[in-house]
Structure 1
Amino acid sequence: MKFSLRQLQVFLATARFENVSRAAAALAMSQSAASGALKELESQFDVQLFDRLGKRLQLSELGRQLRPQAERLLAEAEAFEAALGGEQGAGSLRLGATLTIGNYLVVPMIAAFRDRFPGAEISLQVANTETIARQVADFELDLGMIEGELNHPRLQTLHWRDDELQVFAAPGHPLAGRRPVSDRQLLQLPWIVREPGSGTRQTFDRAMHGILTDLDIAMELQHTEAIKRAVEAGLGVGCLSRISLREAFARGSLVPLQVPQRDFSRQLNLIMHREKFHASTLTRWLELCREYNTENPSHVF
């Protein structure tokens, strides 16, 4: 075999960081050793894996074609090494989750997973749907857990569980306790909503089809808690996942508004790269997701 696993590690780390120095640091190598490994890999096969743009290295067309195979080879090698060492469930998993899932659903799941597999290393990145999808597509994350709808040629989407958005207001709002709220009334309200690119905003925009362009979008915020605080302060009404509103409704700091003529239902999905190797840690996480695919009372979210 003309290439080594170390060369694959350097190739993939450089593809991720687009910089040899940062790739070397991530692999605990010297810059000269990492650069040498990359140059040797290219020279052995007389190919160019990167286009060099100053200090930035961008994958060439060949590099982009080979990256999924390299990712799979390295993942299989790491799984083989773990099996040889008898390290059951000791692999690593890089998760990405959108805000509602990351803030209200995933943390208890990670705790349950670590109870079952103490040797597992789990990392979590929380961002909006667009960011998580890009990171999964670029192999920066092993699995994405998202709220938005997605159609990406490199990604596989699996339905995980159902969810629904809820319009809400402060307890003293004039519409609190009145039902239902008409479209005419919706158009008279100042709205505090998530930013474009988030799954929650995507569902909100779809639900408000026909009147969306006439809505008064007073504020666009990136965090659910910030939206709840703004609504509590009387700055407008909001629309978020019911999952994120349970505690606020229970203590009475926010109240639901009934809008039955609008469909706020949606799906929460899992996304993976189509070329992703399913190591044992990823497979076990998917099994856990199946256990948590409904609002099971035995699972406290």
Structure 2
Amino acid sequence: MDQSLLVFMTVAEKHNFTRAAEALHMTQPAVSQHIQALENSIGTKLLDRSNKHVRLNKAGEIVYRHGKEIEGLYTRMQRLVDDLMHTASGTLSIGASYTFGEYVLPHAIAYLQHHYPLIKPTITIGNTKEISSLVAGGQLDIGIVEGALEHDKLHAESLARDLMYVVTSSSHRFGKDEDVSAASLRQETWIVREEGSGTREVTERMFLEQGLNPSSRMEFGSTQIIKESVEAGLGISLLSHWAVRKEISLGTISKLTIGGKPVEREFSLLTQHHQQHTKAAEVFIGILRKRKGWPEQA
């Protein structure tokens, strides 16, 4: 990778020439020379400098963003060459949306580490838009997101079916039931995820399909606080079985279907179009496809 571009990216991330020089084990004048050489090559200034801070200008933001993509391509190139002579090893960057990333992915990673200890995974958790953008930009090798996705740079493969249930406290009036009618849930307080969440999107779709329009709602920003609130009797919610399987086994939360069926959604596996995978990525994709190490849904 071009040394001047690497120096520029380090300065942008450290916001300071001195700290960048320390991180790169270079002198500060050498850092300045690399920045000047890159700016001369590009044909414009890339940084706004002050006495205390260094910030990217508009041109610098463009160069930095594409520099991260180049860095990802260079890293992948090096790993592919290394793979020609070695077994599956090295870094593997994985991104996932919240439900899969917090409740399913750790089990798959544990299986990976047990059978392929030379692979060193890094995990990024975010919403579908964030993860797909990072995969498309080459900053993640693999993404797992909720629902189907169309993106001109990405290949999306259906990976898993997620079963979602209405959940209540075990002491709730429906806590001993297995199935309820939509009409019986209209007066309940519903606890929902924030706008933009995949779980929220499925919940709103369920409301529409079942003719539900709850007048009492609470909106929380994480599944964990929703589970705690349901256990405390604050209301009911729609959550993935993966997210509540422990609480169900402990008997603190009960799951219900509406009309005899759980709500279903899909998780998709994202990779770049025409991307040549490293052995580490191939191994992990195989684990995901075969559902090795995953918790089962009942």
TM-score normalised per structure 2: 0.78
* Superposed counterparts of 1:1-301, under 5 Å: 4-7=1-4, 9-10=6-7, 17=13, 24=20, 28-30=24-26, 32=28, 33=30, 36-41=33-38, 43-44=40-41, 46-47=42-43, 55-58=55-58, 63=63, 70-71=70-71, 73-79=73-79, 82-83=82-83, 86-178=85-177, 180-209=179-208, 214-216=213-215, 218-260=217-259, 264-274=263-273, 277-292=276-291, 299-300=294-295
Q: Structure 1 residues 149, 21: CA separation in 2 closer, same or farther (over 3 Å shift)?
A: farther
Moved more, 174-183 or 114-123: 174-183
Structure 2, unmatched stretches of 5+, are none
Instruction: State how far apart, in whole Å, the 2-side matches of 1:30 and 1:134 are.
Output: 33
Amino acid at match of 1:256: K
Displacement after TM superposition at 1:152 (Å): 3.6
Superimposed CA distance per residue, residues 34-61 of structure 1 (whole angstroms, 9 cap, x where no aligned partner): 55445434534x5559586971245679
The answer to whether the Cα contact below 8 Å between 1:148 and 1:203 also exists between their aligned partners in 2 is no
Q: CA deviation at 1:136?
A: 3.0
Q: CA deviation at 1:254?
A: 1.0
Partner-residue secondary structure (3-state), 2:257: coil
TM-score (norm 1): 0.77
Work out the CA distance in 1 between the residues paired with 2:170 and 2:187. Answer: 18
| 1:243-276, Cα deviation, whole Å (9 max, x unpaired) | 1222222221111122128872110112234475
SS at match of 2:208: coil
Distance 1:251 1:263, change over 3 A: closer
CA distance in 2, matches of 1:270, 1:34: 40
Displacement after TM superposition at 1:113 (Å): 1.5
Q: Is the 2:153–2:272 Cα contact (8 Å) retained in structure 1? A: yes
Q: Contact 1:42–1:49 at 8 Å: present in 2 too?
A: yes
Secondary structure, counterpart of 1:256 in structure 2: strand
The answer as to whether partners of 2:193 and 2:222 remain within 8 angstroms in 1 is yes
Q: Tell me how far apart the structure 2 counterparts of residues 258 and 269 of structure 1 sit (CA, whole Å).
A: 24
One-letter identity of the residue aligned with 1:168: V
Is the 1:187–1:211 contact (alpha carbons within 8 Å) kept by the matching residues of 2? no
| CA–CA separation in structure 2 for the residues paired with 1:260 and 1:8 | 59
Instruction: Please give the per-residue CA displacement for 1:143-188, whole angstroms capped at 9, x wherever unaligned.
Output: 2212244334443322111112110111222233446433332221
Query: Matched residues in 2 for 1:266 and 1:74: separation?
Result: 36
In the aligned structure 2, how far is the partner of 1:48 from the partner of 1:91?
A: 37
Residues 143 and 117 of structure 1, relative CA distance in 2, 3 Å threshold: same
Q: Which amino acid aligns with 1:75?
A: T
Larger deviation, residues 278-287 vs 236-245: 278-287
Amino acid at match of 2:202: T
- 1:238 corresponds to which letter in structure 2? S
Counterpart-to-counterpart distance in 2, 1:64 and 1:260: 53
Number of corresponding residues: 291
CA contact (8 A) 2:187 2:216 kept: no
* Structure 1 unaligned residues grouped into runs of 5+: none
Q: Relative to 1, partners in 2 of residues 1:79 and 1:27: Cα closer, same or farther, differing over 3 Å?
A: farther
Q: Percent identity?
A: 26
Q: Secondary structure at the match of 1:151?
A: coil
